[in-house]
Structure 1
Amino acid sequence: MALTGAFVRAALLEQTERTRHCSKADIEQFIEESELKILALESQINALMELRDSQRACVLALKHIVSPIRTLPVELLVEIFELAIEDRTHIDDVHRISQVCSDWRQAAHGTPRLWTRTLRVKLCKGDEVDGLKAWLARSAPLPIRISFPPESGDIDVNILVEVLRVATRWRSLKLGCTLPRWLVRQLSKCRLNSLEDLDLEIIHDNETNSIPISFTTVPRLRKLIINLIDFPAAPQPLVPWVQLTDLTISNRDHDVIFGILAQCANLIAASVTTGGRQLPQVRRDIVILSQLHTLSLLFECRYSVARHITPFFDNLSTPVLRSLCVKFDDRAQWTQAHFTAFQLRAQCNITQLEFARTNWYIARDPLLTSDDLGAIIRYAPSLTHLKLTGCGNAFDDAFIRTLYANYKDGVAPLVPHLHNLVLGSRSRTFSDDILAGMIASRWWTDTQLVPPTVARWTHVKLDIGRNYWSTQFVDILKDIPSDVLVLS
């Protein structure tokens, strides 16, 4: 304890009174005796402090023993570990967890699933072999996900050997676009009995007569992401297309796209990125994907050339399609007749539709008109979700009136099952009162008589440029909860 001024003054007064009649020798003797007492007291204090610290350590140890975290079953503790590990930092996270204490380390090392998230393996002397070997051993015997990033240097054979040693456990494999072709061929020859997902790009080399890469002995392969670079010298890989249920493919040549889709009879979900090149006017067999439920199309019209994208739909039939997303850039052109025929071949079963312009911040003529949108929903009687991004010019008063839920001249309202609407646009081509009236016509409270004609809104999001709404608009829609009607 530090000596305060008041404490010193009080001691000075006390000792002055005590030694008033003492000689200097007596005072010096008092000082010596007091210093000895101080040493004795400090010794006792040190002993007491050591005893106190010892007792504190005992208390902390006992609290640790009875703490809730130590009473948790190992299974529950591992679940907490898994929730604390993030995909982006999973390597650091799992190592940090295993260094907290010996119990946690034992639990982490004894739980293979904590070590099975995507492992990015750098083959060009970027990884420590011993650390990689330990990681792979801790994940056994579960399937693992492996990613080989693009490489430009010499391959470290020791790292490659360790990874190939567990090839039978690869569940997911991603190959960087600059890996040498000989390496990809070596990987494809492995026993990939557990492989379900494959992410593959054509390799950037100058081989003009190279043998195609063959991933044919993959009995469990179901999902493929493949970027077919537009180099005619690069042969297409050999893949068991008929096994696939999920395909993501990129190539600007429609012939290549349809040639592959024709082999994928069991697709359930597909995502296609292609150019807007119009197909030659020759008769082609329509590709029928009889099990396809989800389709996403991205049209990229390169070199600032306007292209019609809807002829793509002439060669495609999807009778059980439920979800369709069409994205396009500002150079795409639309012909409604092609898309209407496609909708009819889909037997009007589509429930989710999305149209998005990828660069809608550029001022250009609209791809879709109000009449186009009206025709689209007219042939989508099962529609429940509609999302329009960058199609604001088509979302005008005329189109909005087609969505009114009221009977008119004995005609039932269109899209009676629609309950989710998302609109993103930088321009307003509609009147607030027209839009508010349409939204209100498809809403009612629980205390009101439920109209039998249409579904009630579950989500309406309006992200509009010049984001302000008239008093009339707000007043008409005041009864709709803010979690249903989102004005952002």
Structure 2
Amino acid sequence: MHWPNSHIFYDILAQTASPGFAIHAQSQLEEAEQQLTQMTAQTDPLCQASQQLVARIAALKYAVSPIRKLPADILLEIFSRVEDGHDWSRFHHLSTNAHFRHVFRLASVCSYWRQLLLTAPRMWPTTVALQTSGFISFPQHFDVVNTLLQRSNPYLLNITVDGLRRDVGTYLHSLVISIAMNVAHRWRSLRMEFDFVPFLRHAQTPGPLIHLTEISLHGMDWNETDQPSAFFLDAPKLTRVLLRTSNTTKLLLPWSQLTKLHLEGVESPGFLAVLEQCISVVNLHLVGYICDEDAIATSALSATVSLVYLTHLQLSVTEDHCTFDPLFRHFTFPSLINLNLNPADALADDLLEFEIGDFFPSFLARCSALRNLTILSSNMNETALDDILRNIPSLTSLTLSACFNCVDDAFFERLTYRATDLVPPAPCLQRLHLESVTDRYSQDVVLAMVRSRWWTDDTLLPTPRVARWERIYICGCFPPEVVLSDAFRAAMAELCSEGLVFEVKERR
């Protein structure tokens, strides 16, 4: 601390090591408090003598307080629980963020606390976001960041480099990158929110990144002449990757060990060859479309490639009427549970249309564990949807949204169960969600479909070949307007009273 009477505080603290101090300190404290009470009543409480007594009382209280007897590890645990609306493990922008205000205050109490905090790595940042904004005129702040990172050693780090500003010089950019690179051996996760390719062109391989488990690389724009980079290849614990790139094959990664992959830029040539290497992937999100070159390359292949651990797959198109059909033709995912097809920007006013492709139904037939299928904004017709229904024997939940050309009476009739059906379509289906579909169906056909797959717990029926409905939701979007008949509303209410969640939205 740096106030006029700080010497009094430190003098008292220096006496705490003397024998018998604790015995006399309490009486000294009581005497000082009495003196302060008398002096305050007689003189100005802000006078120098009063302030000296205040400093003496504060030092004595601290000297005899129980916290002085706590072991260092307990004291640090208390320090770590001091909150200011922030997580102390996070450090963002030094010039504007007060994440460490309390750390600095605690370090100012006494030399013991200061030394304790300075030598306690867990009190210092392990999640760091670096950017040039805020440091344009003060590059010396980077020295402070380096110091704080050194104090957190040997703890592993989560590093984010924000989008670097184009209006600042390369000097500051190099400072930002050098800070991140200086602690590469401690990376646990790395997020680069800018084009990292110019750096990779000249970077040396950092050696084994033995702690790195996750990377997120944005906007990687490769030239045709760029050589593939092995910067992240030697990362034995790397399992989670988000990659936005103009060329998937330019960045060499340990594809075979990845379990979660979000890949944007799959339209680059050679993508399918990369995907074949992802033999351990469990969760996969692909954004783009399969380019013609990959389609030609896979057309000559007779055997399909199986990714046996994949359970969650999301495919998002970035161009209108684009397809992932080569993927559907070339791959099989026997453990796939959840499949979502949608435009990349699902919140856009004008949705792109997903092209299902000719091989999608046969692809579904190979996904024998599939439980949940969601298709958003597809231009498929009634025939394509009928083919899908014939190839989803394990599906329990089907969601169609903004699919304007496929839902009609034939769709509901196809899902209507008849005891004579030897192989009923979608026999395990329990949840049906139709939203923003055209109103090309009759209420009687819908009701017949619902009743054919519904029974109460106490109803005695021959063993059905289909599952019982759990939830049905239907909402159209275009004229003709839907006005539910009284009979339909009454039937819907009766089914709901029996336990079915059943809702059809009216449009007036």
TM-score bracket for this pair, using the shorter chain length = 0.5 to 0.7
Contact 1:277–1:307 (CA under 8 A) maintained in structure 2? no
Q: TM-score, normalised by structure 1?
A: 0.67
Task: Tell which deviates more after alignment, 110-119 or 458-467.
Answer: 110-119
CA distance in 1, matches of 2:434, 2:268: 30
CA distance in 2, matches of 1:480, 1:352: 23
Paired residues, number: 412
Contact 2:439–2:482 (CA under 8 A) maintained in structure 1? no
The structure with the larger Rg is 1
CA distance in 2, matches of 1:421, 1:142: 49
Contact 2:226–2:250 (CA under 8 A) maintained in structure 1? no
Pairing of 1:53-202 with structure 2 (within 5 A): 94-95=99-100, 112=122, 115-117=125-127, 119-122=129-132, 125=135, 128-129=141-142, 132-133=145-146, 136=149, 140-151=153-164, 152=166, 153-156=169-172, 158-179=175-196, 181-182=198-199, 186=203, 189=206, 191-201=208-218
Q: Which residue of 2 aligns with 1:310?
A: 325
CA distance in 2, matches of 1:373, 1:82: 55
Pairing of 1:378-393 with structure 2 (within 5 A): 378-393=390-405
Contact 2:124–2:149 (CA under 8 A) maintained in structure 1? no
> How much has 1:320 moved relative to structure 2?
2.5
CA distance in 2, matches of 1:88, 1:432: 56
> How much has 1:469 moved relative to structure 2?
5.4
Structure 1, gaps ≥5 residues long: 1-45, 52-64, 66-72, 358-365
Q: Which residue of 2 aligns with 1:423?
A: 434
* Cα deviation 1:418-453 (Å, max 9, x = unaligned): 233322215322233433443455455566669853
Go from structure 1 to structure 2 and tell me whether the alpha carbon gap of 1:324 and 1:76 turns closer, same or farther (over 3 Å shift): farther
Task: Tell which deviates more after alignment, 245-254 or 387-396.
Answer: 245-254
Q: Which residue of 2 aligns with 1:11?
A: none
Candidates 408, 428, 437, aligned match of 1:396: 408
* Cα deviation 1:121-141 (Å, max 9, x = unaligned): 448946833553465457554
Candidates 370, 373, 376, aligned match of 2:388: 376
CA distance in 2, matches of 1:171, 1:118: 12
Candidates 252, 260, 270, aligned match of 2:284: 270
Q: Secondary structure at the match of 2:199?
A: helix
CA distance in 1, matches of 2:502, 2:90: 34
Q: Which amino acid aligns with 2:410?
A: A
Structure 2, gaps ≥5 residues long: 1-39, 46-64, 66-74, 344-350
Contact 1:86–1:93 (CA under 8 A) maintained in structure 2? no
Q: Which residue of 2 aligns with 1:213?
A: 229
Candidates 315, 330, 347, aligned match of 1:297: 315
Contact 2:222–2:250 (CA under 8 A) maintained in structure 1? no
CA distance in 1, matches of 2:305, 2:339: 17
Go from structure 1 to structure 2 and tell me whether the alpha carbon gap of 1:134 and 1:260 turns closer, same or farther (over 3 Å shift): same
Q: Secondary structure at the match of 1:477?
A: helix
Q: Which amino acid aligns with 2:225?
A: N
Candidates 407, 417, 422, aligned match of 2:418: 407
Contact 1:148–1:176 (CA under 8 A) maintained in structure 2? yes
Task: Tell which deviates more after alignment, 256-265 or 208-217.
Answer: 208-217
2:373 aligned with 1:356, yes or no?
Answer: no
CA distance in 1, matches of 2:397, 2:374: 8
Counting aligned pairs with the same residue, the percent is 23
> How much has 1:76 moved relative to structure 2?
10
Q: Which residue of 1 aligns with 2:336?
A: 321
Q: Which residue of 1 aligns with 2:4?
A: none
Candidates 476, 482, 493, aligned match of 1:464: 476
Q: Which amino acid aligns with 1:351?
A: R
CA distance in 2, matches of 1:401, 1:480: 21
CA distance in 1, matches of 2:363, 2:392: 11
CA distance in 1, matches of 2:81, 2:413: 52
> How much has 1:120 moved relative to structure 2?
4.7
Contact 1:94–1:108 (CA under 8 A) maintained in structure 2? no
Go from structure 1 to structure 2 and tell me whether the alpha carbon gap of 1:115 and 1:384 turns closer, same or farther (over 3 Å shift): farther
Go from structure 1 to structure 2 and tell me whether the alpha carbon gap of 1:114 and 1:331 turns closer, same or farther (over 3 Å shift): same
Q: TM-score, normalised by structure 2?
A: 0.64
Contact 1:293–1:323 (CA under 8 A) maintained in structure 2? yes
Go from structure 1 to structure 2 and tell me whether the alpha carbon gap of 1:460 and 1:412 turns closer, same or farther (over 3 Å shift): same
Contact 1:273–1:298 (CA under 8 A) maintained in structure 2? yes
